[in-house]
A and B are shown apart, each in its own frame.
Chain A
C-alpha cells in the first residue's frame, strides 16, 4: 500500500541547488577520469615493463580496485588513512577513492585493448630501432586508447554514479549530498530523489551519446 501525495513544486523550488550539486558531481567525475586514465597508462606500462616489483604493484592495485566495493575504497581514503594521521577533506577523499577505482578498471580495459593489437607491431617497432617504451608510446598506446575509448565512457558513467557514495565521507555539495540535505530539511524524499535520478540519467546519457559522437568523428578508418 503506497498512498502519498506528491508535491513536485517543493522539489522543483530546490532545482537550482541541485543543479549546483550536479556541477560538483561532474567536476569530481571529470577530475577522477583524467587522473584515472593517467594512472592506468602508468600501471599498463608497469605491467608491460617485465620488472617483477612493478608488475606486482600494478597487479595488486588492479586486484584491490576491481574486487572490493567502491564504498570500501572511498571509506578507506577518508577514515582509513586518517588513522595514520593523514586527513583529506571529503572532496579529496572521494576524488582519491574514485580515481583509485577508475585506474584499476581502466588498466583492465587497456589490457583488453592490448590483446587486440598483434605483438608483431611491437617487434616491428623494435626492429626499426625504437626502444620498448618508444614503441609503446608511438605505436601501441594510440591504438590502445582508440580501442578502449568506448569502454572508457562506460567508466566515466560509473564515476558519475560513484560520486553518490561521497555522503559516507561527509560530502554535502555534490548532487547526492545536496539531495540528502534537502530531504532532511523537508522530508519530501520521493520527489527530491526522483528529481536527482532524472538529473543523473541526463548527465550519464549525455556522456554516452557524446562519447559515441566523438568516437564517430575521431576514429574514422
Chain B
C-alpha cells in the first residue's frame, strides 16, 4: 500500500515535471504536425494552383521545415491581418508568412533571422503617366493593408501632404482597383508586381520602377518566449542558405539575382 502510494506520487511528479519542461519544439515533435500560417494571396510566396492546392515559396519553406523536424506540414491559410491571432490562439505553431521584422512588432512576437528579402516596386496604371516613385506624388495610391509597404507608403503620402492612400484587404483587390483606375499606382514587393503583371489578369498596368524603401527583410515568427523553437528556426534559416536550398527555391519561384539576407557591417 505504501509502495503503491509512493509509486503513484513519483509518477505524478514526473508527469508534472514532464509537462512543465515540454516546450513548443517538444510539442511539435510529439504531435507529429507542424502548422504554418501562410498567406495564400501573395504570389509567388503563397498562392493556390489550378487544383486549389497551396503552392509557393512560403509553402515549400514550411514543408522543408517540417521535413527537418520529421513531422507533417499543415498549411493554415492566414490573411495578413490574422497572423497574430492565429499564433496567439494556438491555431498555428509558426508563421511562414512573409512577415517584416519591425521592432514595433517584435515587442509582440518573436522573429527568427531573415529568411527572405524583398525589394519594392512601383506598379502604375498606364493611363496616369506615372513613370517613377516620385511621380506618385499627388495621386491616389494604395497597397495591401497591414504590409510593410502599406505602412511605408502611407507615411510617404502623409509626408508629401497631397494625394490619397487607400489600403485594400488583399493583393487581388489592389491590382483590381489599379486596373480599374481607382488607384493610380501601388507599391508592392517586386516579385508580387511581376507575377501579377505577367499573369495577364489585369489590363493597363505595368511596373514602372523601384520604391526607395529600406530592404524589406522578412522573418519566420513564433511566440516570443519560445526560445528553444526560435533557436531552431534561426539554425534552420541558416541551413537553408548553407545547403543551397534557399537559392534553389528562389530560382524556382522568383528567378534572377538572389537577395542577400545579411546586413553589411553588423551581426545577425
Residues of A within 8 A of B (CB): 1-4, 7, 10, 78-79, 82-83, 85, 87, 89-90, 167-170, 172, 177, 180-181, 183-190
Contact = CB atoms under 8 A, between A and B. Distances in A.
Nearest to B105: A187
B44 interface: no
Which secondary structure dominates where chain A touches chain B?
helix
Interface stretch (B59-67, B70-78, B143-151, B254-262): B143-151
Given A172-B165, A180-B145, A189 B177 contact: no
Contacts of B168: 168-170
Interface of B: 80-81, 84-85, 88-90, 104-105, 107-109, 142, 145-147, 150-151, 154, 164-169, 173, 176-177, 180-182, 223
A189 B182 contact: no
A166 B112 CA distance: 34
B182 A82 contact: yes
- A85, A187, A188: most-surrounded residue (chain B CB, <10 A): A187
A180 B81 contact: yes
A170 B142 contact: yes
Given A82-B180, A170-B166, A186-B104, A181 B145 contact: yes
Contacts of B154: 172, 181
B145 A167 contact: yes
Given A79-B176, A170-B142, A170-B167, A185 B84 contact: no
Nearest to A168: B169
B105 A2 contact: no
Nearest to A75: B173
Contacts of B105: 186-187
